[in-house]
Amino acid sequence: MGINEERDIEANLQIGPTDQGMVRLFIEAGKMEIPMDFDPEEAREIADEILAAANAAEARKG
């Protein structure tokens, strides 16, 4: 599956701090649960990438 391929899958995304000082992205889709933990610096890098992608997507809309 590539970034431009659409899928008809519902998923829930939760983001928050853990009691261990990590940032958790928790993805739930059907019976699958995917917890992904990042240290704060990694989380900031991911946030920067998301913002850059949002800006690029807006620019493509014209």
Q: List the chain pLDDT tens, one digit each, 62 residues.
A: 688 888 888 999 999 999 999 999 999 999 999 999 999 999 999 999 999 999 999 999 87
Residue 7 has a pLDDT of 85
Q: Return the number of other C-beta atoms located less than 10 Å from residue 36's C-beta.
A: 13
Using alpha carbons, select from 31, 25, 24 the residue that is nearest to residue 10. Answer: 31
Cβ atoms 44, 52 nearer than 8 A: no
Q: Can you name the residues that pair with 28 across neighbouring β-strands?
A: 12, 33
Model confidence pLDDT, tens digit, residues 7-24: 888 999 999 999 999 999
Residue 10 has a pLDDT of 93
Cβ atoms 29, 10 nearer than 8 A: yes
